[in-house]
Structure 1
């Protein structure tokens, strides 16, 4: 083979390589366009991501609406009644609690529902059952404070329960025993046990308003710290 033939074959080979390179380069450019990659050099260096590439959109969950906080103070209208005898404190307290929530019932109605006798009303569980016969099943619940005195946790729970119930329009009925002092320093003593309604609170529930059907003064209500109220309930329970 002469030199001219060799030169022709070499030029053909170079042309072929250039043609294949052009095809390869065209393919790379097509892929780059589809993926947003800029080929800044055709010399084997690393490609860079185009600054105009669109970042993926990540959907974020809508924020939850904050719970409505309870007011620092709320008092229900007690529509107070005194009890007519010494053993109807349970029916009177239940009636006063329901009246504060807008229910029209009599003490006689509640005496029947609470199964009250001349010995009184047995327990807060009877009160809860009687209240739910009026307002609907499982609306009221019973919580006991079983020790001789209320623990800080039990006092805090009473505060929470009173605030939640009164905010929802329900007065609480408490079964109490022995003595407790109101915020005016007046002692209220019931060694044989008693029932009162809690119709309001203030200071975020640290003080509660008591509607006492055995109290002959004014509208029968007074304020008491929740600490004193919890210890007054100790060994008994309350409906909330």
Structure 2
């Protein structure tokens, strides 16, 4: 199986039509989705029946949390602050160009008070020079925690004692309105309950990119979602490219950024997020 998820790389550009001078280019997400569909090498391992059941229960609980947050935001006198929440920032620069997965996971663990080096995290994730797989590779954790999704498995293994079970959520190449709405609900719920999420970006030329990422490159990249505003309309995240000396364009990437949750979902299309 060819990996590459988690690797920051420059690959073949998706052809795009010329844009007249002075006119902002559009983001042709449908052509980007078609490119992803034609070039996807991930096996997208099906979840077990038990995992699907657990994911459904978690989603139902998340819907209740979202309803409460929206009700609080609608109260007379509510301010913008009542529609936003962030967890502690734990951004750390990835120590190699292919360690975005270990950096994202190590940051999420640190937020919960668990210290694990990027090198140790990389060993658990079975990260290679091709990056960290989205699916199709079991993490180096006890079999009871193995689902074929290494990021979710390592987070559950290291945080199970705190009551955590992380689930991977695969997204369509061109995520639907329902997928975007469900992501917002899960984001708000996890942040309110004190848990980071991990996104797996698949950025392609012609599609949206994370803040500071060069728009003419194809990039696979893990990053950590740590908050929201606008009751989930916007996602706050931290990016391990910031400060990463092994990546030539790292100076243009902020440690912490905010982006539309709809755009975040589109960027993760063809891969997904772990919550």
Corresponding position of 1:123: 134
Counterparts of 1:138 and 1:77, CA distance in 2: 18
Is structure 2 residue 183 aligned with structure 1 residue 152?
no
Question: Which residue number corresponds to residue 266 of structure 2?
Answer: 231
Deviations 1:31-73 (A, max 9, x none): xxxxxxxxxxxxxxxxxxxxxxxxxxxxxxxxxxx97923521
CA distance in 1 between counterparts of 2:201 and 2:170 reads: 11
Gap regions ≥5 residues in structure 1: 1-65
> Relative contact order: is structure 1 or structure 2 higher (C-alpha 8 Å, sep ≥ 6)?
2
Per the TM alignment, residue 102 of structure 1 is displaced from its structure 2 partner at its CA by 2.7
- Residue 237 of structure 2 corresponds to residue 202 of structure 1: no
Instruction: State the structure with more CA Rg.
Output: 1
Looking at structure 2, the residues matched to 77 and 188 of structure 1 have their Cα atoms a distance apart, in angstroms, of 27
> Aligned pair 1:133/2:157, yes or no?
yes
Match of 1:94 in 2: 105
Judging by fraction of residues, say which structure has more strand: 1
CA distance in 1, matches of 2:236, 2:230: 11
Deviation, 1:219, is 6.0
Cα distance in 1 for partners of 2:108, 2:153 equals 14
Structure 2 CA distance for partners of 1:133 and 1:188, relative to 1, 3 Å:
farther
State how far apart, in whole Å, the 2-side matches of 1:149 and 1:201 are.
22
Please report the TM-score for the alignment, with normalisation by the length of structure 1.
0.65
2:118 corresponding residue in structure 1: 107
In the alignment, the residues of structure 2 paired with residue 72 and residue 101 of structure 1 have an alpha-carbon distance, to the nearest angstrom, of 23
Give the root-mean-square deviation of aligned CA atoms: 2.3
2:239 paired residue among 209, 212, 220: 212
CA deviations on 1:76-131 (whole Å, 9 max, x unpaired) are 11222100111100000111122223322221221111111111101162100011
Aligned to 1:161: 186
Normalised by the length of structure 2, the TM-score is 0.57
Q: 1:142 aligns with which of 159, 168, 179?
A: 168
Q: Which runs of 5+ in 2 are unaligned?
A: 1-63, 70-81, 136-148, 244-250
Q: Secondary structure at the match of 1:69?
A: helix
